[in-house]
Amino acid sequence: NPNTIEVLYQGTPVWINYVDPENCAADVSSMLLPSETLKVHVRDLVEGKEISNNIPKQVLSGRL
């Protein structure tokens, strides 16, 4: 799936789907934070930069 990335969250692989490929935003699965929908910039995630929008810093890595 070209609109999906795999993220390691506290050592656990989690799949994240793009919601807006234009700005590389992604919806975080509810398995990360139940009852909450957050967004992360995929480019920042893949490059290992600090993640904003309340994404826990335990997010270790991501890949396209």
DSSP labels, 14-61: EEEEEEETTTTEEEPPTTTSTT---EEEHHHHHTTPPP-TT--TTEEE
CA distance 63 to 8: 10
Query: Pick the residue with more confidence: 5 or 35?
Result: 5
Q: What is the tens place of the pLDDT at every residue in 17-57?
A: 555 544 444 444 434 444 344 445 455 555 554 444 444 44
User: For residue 32, what pLDDT is reported?
Assistant: 46
User: For residue 16, what pLDDT is reported?
Assistant: 64
Q: Structure pTM?
A: 0.31
Q: What token pair was written down for 63?
A: 């890949």
